[in-house]
Chain A
Amino acid sequence: QVQLVQSGAEMKRPGASVKVSCKTSGYTFNRYGVTWVRQAPGQGLEYMGSISVYSGDTYYAQKFQGRVTLTTDTSTTTAHMDLRSLTSDDTAMYYCARVDFSNSIGNDYWGQGTLLTVSS
């Protein structure tokens, strides 16, 4: 069965960086992409960006451009999200989700989420 399992909760100081991992299984990794979405406490969903595993093409929301980097490792079928220059506003739950760029079905499988807390 399709699974996306994310790395554990993180606590960081302002100005630091964080790397969140998303280990996938149960499907052909390079036939799909991975989207990253975050959710601040008590708030809605916010799109951060997507990556095509096959081509390596990345698409970043303007708000995060220059501060986020999405990568994938096909040898371990894992996607990674690096976020730099953290502030308290980055405190949120971060989700990875599978995306099918070819068949336009939205994000059909999601990771369980990784809680990032940024505090001094």
Chain B
Amino acid sequence: EIVMTQSPATLSVSPGERATLSCRASQSFNNNLAWYQQKPGQAPRLLIYGASTRATGVPVRFSGSGSGTEFTLTIDSLQSEDIAVYYCHQYDSWPDTFGQGTKLEMK
């Protein structure tokens, strides 16, 4: 199975600054890569699919990029409501696998 590794484990960013979250795969795959946001006590929320397509209703400050084995989620101008854990998810190769998550904190 494809192992997804996210970095950093915890990221501290000042309000209004940019947050860059990384996700690396153990082997290359087509861009069937999603990013989810999970706030405490809530189910995950789809932000990005196909590596770079924003899901319905997702603010434009969220963007996804990358291909092959390296993928990035960028949050421009961090807002307080963006504080959450973020997970990458590859759904290209069975079985689906998730990264271990990056906890985003406000500095």
Q: Is the CB of B44 within 8 A of A106?
A: no
Q: Is the CB of B101 within 8 A of A44?
A: yes
Number of A-B contacts (CB under 8 A): 64
CB proximity to B under 8 Å, residues A70-120 = 95, 97, 99, 104-113
Q: Which residue of A lies closest to B91 (CB)?
A: A106
Closest chain B CB from A57 CB (angstroms): 11
Would you call A54 an interface residue if the criterion is a C-beta within 8 Å of the partner chain's C-beta atoms? no
Interface range for B: 20 to 34
Closest chain A CB from B21 CB (angstroms): 14
B interface secondary structure, majority: loop
Would you call B62 an interface residue if the criterion is a C-beta within 8 Å of the partner chain's C-beta atoms? no
- Contact partner, B49, options A108, A109, A111, Cβ 8 Å: A108
A37 to B43 alpha-carbon distance, docked (Å): 10
A10 to B26 alpha-carbon distance, docked (Å): 36
A93 to B42 alpha-carbon distance, docked (Å): 11
Where the two chains meet, the residues of A that have a C-beta atom closer than 8 Å to any C-beta of B are 35, 37, 44-47, 49-50, 59, 61-62, 95, 97, 99, 104-113
Q: Which 10 A-B pairs have the closest CB atoms?
A: A106-B34, A110-B43, A47-B96, A45-B98, A106-B49, A105-B49, A61-B95, A44-B100, A44-B101, A108-B46
